[in-house]
A and B are shown apart, each in its own frame.
Chain A
Amino acid sequence: MVSLLLILISAVFVNNFVLARFLGICPFLGVSKKVETAIGMGMAVIFVMSVASVVTWFIQYFILNRFGLEYLQTIAFILVIASLVQLVEMIIQKTSPVLYQSLGIFLPLITTNCAVLGVAVLSIQKSYSFVEAVVFALGAGLGFTLAMVLFAGLRERIDLCPVPNSFRGTAIALVTAGLLSLAFMGFAGLVKG
C-alpha cells in the first residue's frame, strides 16, 4: 500500500512527466491557453494513460515476452495505443455526447503522444506489477493535469501583463515553462524513484 502511494506521489510531483521528464511538451504548450481546456485535456490524458497502460501491460507480458519479441515494444505499443484511442473516441461519441464534448476534441491529439507511450514503456522498464502499472499511469496523468492547469493559469495571467513585444506568445510561454520546471525540481528527493 505504501509503495503504491509512493509510486503515485513520485509520478505526480517528483518525476512529473511534463516538468521533470519533459514528455508531452506538445500538448503542454499547445492546449494551455485557457484553464478550462487544460482541464479537459488533462482529463483526457488521465483516461487514455490509464486505459493504455492496462492494455500495453497485457500486450507486453502475454504476447511480446511470450514470443521473445521485446524489441518490438515501441512499435507494438504505438499501434495498440493509437487504435485503442480511436476506438474509445468512437464509443464515447456514440454513447455519451456530453463526455465527447468535453474530451472528444482532445482524444485525437493524444493518440501517439509521447507521454502516453512513455507511461507504458516506463512501467514495463520498472517491471511494475499490474496494479502498480495502473497506479503509475494514474499518477502520471494527474501530474500532467497538474502541470497543464498550473501553466494555463500562469498563461492566462501573462496575457493580461504588459509583456515586451519580442517576448510575446511562445517565447514568454517557454520561459514560464522553464521556470515552472525549475520550481518542480524542488520536489526532487521527496521520494526516490
Chain B
Amino acid sequence: MLTAILCLGGIGLIAAATLGVAAKKFAVEVDPREAAVLEALPGANCGACGEPGCSGYAKGVADGRLAPNLCTPGGSATIEAIAAILGIEAVAAEPRVAVVLCQGDNEKATEKYRYLGMADCNAAQKLADGPKTCPGGCLGLGSCAAACPFDAIEMTASGLAVINRDKCTGCEKCVSVCPRQVIVMAPKASTTHVLCNSRDKGAQVRKYCQVGCIGCNICKKTVPEAYQIESFLARVEYEQDENAAAAIEKCPMKCIHDFSTGYPEGSRLGSKKAASGENAAA
C-alpha cells in the first residue's frame, strides 16, 4: 500500500517537476495581442477568413499578415474589436448578400411534370432533375427558406424564392442547400443582377420561360464593361457594374433586375421600398 502510494506519487512528482522546469525553460513568447484577438473572434472556426481556424487567423492578424476585416461571421462588431486591439482604423468588409438568380415562378416558367412529393427542393431535384423544364431555375419548394437561420428568404405565392437583402447576413447556408445552384453571393452594393440561371440556347429558353436570358448580347452591347455572356447566359460583372442598370430597359426578356428599385414581381417585399438602404451603399 505504502509502496504503491510512494511509487505513483513519486512518478507524479517527477513528472510535475519536469513539466514545471520545462515550462519555464521552453517558454515561448506569444504576442499578447494574438490572445486578445482570439478572444474577440466568434470562435466558430468556420474558415471564412481562409485560415484553418480562429487561432490561425488571430495569429495572422497579430503578425500583420492578414487584414483585420476578414471575419465575416463576426461582422462589424468583431472587426471594430480587432481594430481596437491592434490600434488601427477599422475598415468594414464589403457586405455580401445572397441573390436568387431566377424570376421564373410557376406562372412564367413551364413544368416538365406535376410534382406532388414532399416540399423539398433536393427531393424534387432527384426525381428526373426536378419538375421545372428549365434545368437551372428555382424549384420554389423552399429548401433555402427552411435553411435560412435569419428568416430572410420569402417564398412567393407562385413558387419563387426571394431574398430579403436587409435581413440577409451572407452566411451562405442557402447557397449550399440549393440543389440547382441558383443562389449566388454578390456584393450588397451591386443591386443589378441578371435573374436567370439557364445555360440553354435562346430558342429553348423561350419555350419554357417568359423571363429567361436568351444570350442575345444586347445588354453587353449597351454596357460592354458590365456584362459577361457565357453559355447563352448573361452575368453582371460585379466589379464594374456602375452602369449595369442602363441595360434593364433594353433587355427583351426583362430578366435584368435592379434591386434598388424594389424586389421582383410577386414578392411581398416588392411593395415597400425595402431595398432603399442599398442606394446609399452604392
* Interface residue ranges, A against B (CB under 8 Å): 59, 63-64, 67-69, 72, 75-76, 79-80, 83-84, 86-87, 90-91, 93-95, 162, 165
Majority DSSP secondary structure for residues of A touching B: helix
Please state if B4 and A63 are interface contacts (CB–CB under 8 Å).
no
* B127 contacts chain A at the CB level, 8 A cutoff: no
Number of residues from B at the complex interface, CB < 8 A = 18
Q: Do the beta carbons of B22 and A90 come within 8 Å of each other?
A: yes
Stretch at the interface among B13-21, B68-76, B79-87, B228-236: B13-21
Q: Interface on B for A, CB 8 Å cutoff?
A: 3-4, 7-8, 11-12, 15-16, 18-19, 22-23, 25-28, 122, 126
Q: Is A75 a contact of B8 with CB atoms below 8 Å? A: yes
Which chain B positions have C-beta within 8 A of A69?
Answer: 3-4, 7-8
Chain B residue nearest in CB terms to A87: B22
Q: Write the nearest CB–CB distance from A53 to chain B, whole angstroms.
A: 17
When distances are taken between beta carbons in the complex, the residues of chain B under 8 Å from A67 are: 3-4, 7
CB–CB A90/B26 < 8 A: yes
The answer to whether A90 touches B11, judged by C-beta atoms less than 8 angstroms apart, is no
Chain A residues near B26 (CB-CB < 8 A): 90-91, 93-95
CB distance from A116 to the nearest CB of B (A): 16
> Bound state CA distance, A84 and B12, in angstroms?
11
List the A residue with the shortest CB-CB distance to B6. A67
Q: How far is the CB of A33 from chain B (nearest CB, A)?
A: 11
B187 to chain A, nearest CB (A): 28
Residues of B within 8 A of A80 (CB): 11, 15
